[in-house]
């Protein structure tokens, strides 16, 4: 059975955030995670473009115009 428990490494010791249930003794593998994440997580990206878009931009209208162009090209046989 694999069990994962979060912990902290400090001054050569590992402190577990919780006690694993049903384990008296087990072999472990320890993976050290970086404290500062180099890759941005999806929740960090939420709203990342909020202040970078012009206030008067209408994304929906722009996408609808592109979609209309694609549909028109498809109907005219320009897709081949």
Q: For residues 47 and 40, is the Cβ–Cβ distance under 8 A?
A: no
Q: What is the pLDDT of residues 33-76, one digit of tens each?
A: 877 666 666 666 667 777 777 777 788 888 999 999 999 988 88
Can you point out the beta strands (E) in the chain? 7-10, 13-16
How many residues are present in the chain?
A: 80
State the pLDDT at residue 41. Answer: 65
| For residues 11-20, average pLDDT | 92
State the pLDDT at residue 40. Answer: 62
Cα 7 from Cα 20, distance rounded (Å): 11
pTM score: 0.38
Q: For residues 15 and 8, is the Cβ–Cβ distance under 8 A?
A: yes
State the pLDDT at residue 37. Answer: 60
């Amino acid at each position: 059975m694999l069990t994962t428990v979060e912990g902290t490494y400090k001054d050569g010791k590992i402190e577990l955030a919780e006690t694993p249930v049903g384990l008296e003794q087990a072999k472990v593998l320890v993976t050290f995670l970086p404290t500062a994440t180099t890759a941005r997580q999806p929740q960090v990206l939420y709203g990342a473009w909020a202040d970078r878009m012009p206030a008067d931009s209408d994304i929906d209208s722009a996408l609808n115009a592109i979609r209309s162009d694609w549909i028109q090209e498809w109907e005219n046989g320009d897709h081949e």
